[in-house]
Structure 1
Amino acid sequence: MWSARRISRFAVTLLRRILIAVLVLVALGYGGVVGYMYFNQRALQYAATGPVIPLAETRLTAAKDIALPSGDGTINGWYQEPRSGMPVIIYYKGNSKSFSEEHERYETFVAEGYGFLAFDYRGFPASPGTISQDNILTDSLTAFDWAAEQGAPLLIWGRSLGSGPATFVGSQRDAQALLLETPFLSAVTVAGERYPYLPVTLVMQDQFPNNDWIRSVEEPVLVAHGTADTTIEVTNGERLYALAPNPDTVWIVPGAGHSDLWAAGIWDQAKPFFERALSR
């Protein structure tokens, strides 16, 4: 017969072993989740699939297809020169589908006399290659520099993911204005808000630190965001705007989600903003 003391000692030992086993399983599970996120992070961060709408199927009858060498590949997009004396809007797209999906925006730009340049980063539907922060930034500078060679004043418009390359280009090049639609403070900030239990700062490769780049942006800045944005929380845009050295306008739309700002009238905010910037 076991004594009470021996039984008690056995119970403590068993409990300790069970606790250690549970902790090991939790650690292994957590490590598995972190490992999965690390090795699949770009598939989770980008949704670079979808059809490319042919230019001929749009109302952009005066635009042309362009192919620009960039890095180890080529970026493909559309360009239309502006009406005489008007600027060109360089449009940096978001993280899903093709730039061609937003042709109605470009049609509005053109109807108002603006030129535009829009394209897919490498790895997105119209531009073969590999997606990475470095490639996106390289492609974005390539597009800007090509547009600058055409001679018209340049305006930068970055939407969602595109707020990253747009802010970076604004910090590296001279444009007339920078418009940021549903921007993030940084991509790693959004990841941290979405996955607070993961060490995203340590493992995330494409962090797009807008909060650093914006400090070197000399252009006037307009930030647009919606209070019901569940993709990039509205405080990202508000905090980013607060860091801009040359802030012009912050436009916050009550009840607007991540993809609602065009329908909510962002062009009616953008056009006077661009006119103010061009008149300086």
Structure 2
Amino acid sequence: MKLFRRLLLATLVLIALGYSAVVAYMYVNQRALQYNAQGKVFSLAETRLPKASDVSIDTGGSTVNGWYQAPKPGMPVILYYKGNSKSFSEEHERFEQFVADGYGFLAFDYRGFPASPGDISEANILNDALAAYDWLDAQTDAPILIWGRSLGSGPATYVASRREARALLLETPFLSAVNVAAERYPILPVGLVMQDQFRNDLWIKDVSEPVLVAHGTADRTIDGSNGERLYALAPDPAELWIVPGADHSDLWDAGIWSHAEAFFRKALSQ
């Protein structure tokens, strides 16, 4: 019996030590695990955006780099907050479509992503996001439309809760980043150790703009229930577009732009 107790105690100690080691590793390396900030930076010369310009935005002690093009007269401008992987410039096809339909746009890399130097953190991303809005607001009198994709749903929702835009589009958003992490690692105390939690569930309550949420039922990165629950918290919910069978990066090809345009037109008419 004593031997059994000793073996049981030793086993429990080993489990506790192993668990603690895993938690400690994830705490120390959490930003490397959370963000995928690698990828090619495309130049404007490689795109069909001959009238767009490279811009550098002062964020107060740092600089973020991106592209800007003014809208056609009477048209709005889209402030685009990118997702978690690669550079914003990877999505130039989207910006080309915006411009082809008369919209202006501003898109950029947060600090620590390929086109912008610096360290990645939630505080820096949110600061960069506000600085980008303020820069754009100073550039144009055109109506500003906010579009946040995946990770970008965090800064997009945060900015919409603190600045005045005409509409907020959230593509494959999370309820919060900490919620996604908790669903992915249910046995770990992520709520206690996660530094960059991106609490969309709190910020959305202060968003006065009409909101469109788009998600796919087969999203393996952020479960579609995140979008549904976030939409339910929006003070001015306009549309919940759920695409059967769509994964995390499928919504552009699934036709999100046509939904976005209809949503934007309606929001601008109000």
Q: TM-score, normalised by structure 2?
A: 0.99
User: In 1, distance between residues paired with 2:62 and 2:86?
Assistant: 19
Letter matched to residue 66 of structure 1: V
Q: CA deviation at 1:72?
A: 2.4
Q: CA deviation at 1:71?
A: 3.2
Alignment coverage as a number of residue pairs? 269
Letter matched to residue 250 of structure 2: D
User: In 2, distance between residues paired with 1:71 and 1:95?
Assistant: 23
Q: Which residue of 1 aligns with 2:214?
A: 224
Q: Which residue of 2 aligns with 1:261?
A: 251
Q: Which residue of 1 aligns with 2:235?
A: 245
User: In 2, distance between residues paired with 1:16 and 1:216?
Assistant: 55
Asked if residue 109 in structure 1 is aligned to residue 98 in structure 2, the reply is yes
SS at match of 2:252: helix
User: In 2, distance between residues paired with 1:88 and 1:120?
Assistant: 18
Could you list the runs of 4 or more consecutive aligned residues of structure 1 that deviate by over 6 angstroms after TM superposition? none
* Cα-to-partner distance string for 1:52-101 (whole Å, 9 max, x where unaligned): 00011100000000001113210000000000011110000001100000
Equivalent of 2:174, from 172, 184, 187? 184
Letter matched to residue 183 of structure 2: E
User: In 2, distance between residues paired with 1:83 and 1:44?
Assistant: 41
Gaps of 5+ in 2: none
Q: Which residue of 1 aligns with 2:48?
A: 59
Asked if residue 69 in structure 1 is aligned to residue 58 in structure 2, the reply is yes
SS at match of 1:263: coil
Q: Is the contact made by 1:71 and 1:135 (CA closer than 8 Å) also made in structure 2?
A: no
Note the 1:33-182 alignment, pairs <5 A. Answer: 33-150=22-139, 151-182=141-172
Task: Please tell me the root mean square deviation across aligned C-alpha atoms, in Å.
Answer: 0.5
SS at match of 1:214: helix
Letter matched to residue 143 of structure 1: A
Q: Percent identity?
A: 71
User: In 2, distance between residues paired with 1:71 and 1:64?
Assistant: 22
Q: TM-score, normalised by structure 1?
A: 0.96
Q: Which residue of 2 aligns with 1:25?
A: 14
Equivalent of 1:277, from 260, 267, 270? 267
Letter matched to residue 95 of structure 1: N
Asked if residue 194 in structure 1 is aligned to residue 184 in structure 2, the reply is yes
Q: Is the contact made by 1:49 and 1:96 (CA closer than 8 Å) also made in structure 2?
A: yes
Name the larger-Rg structure: 1
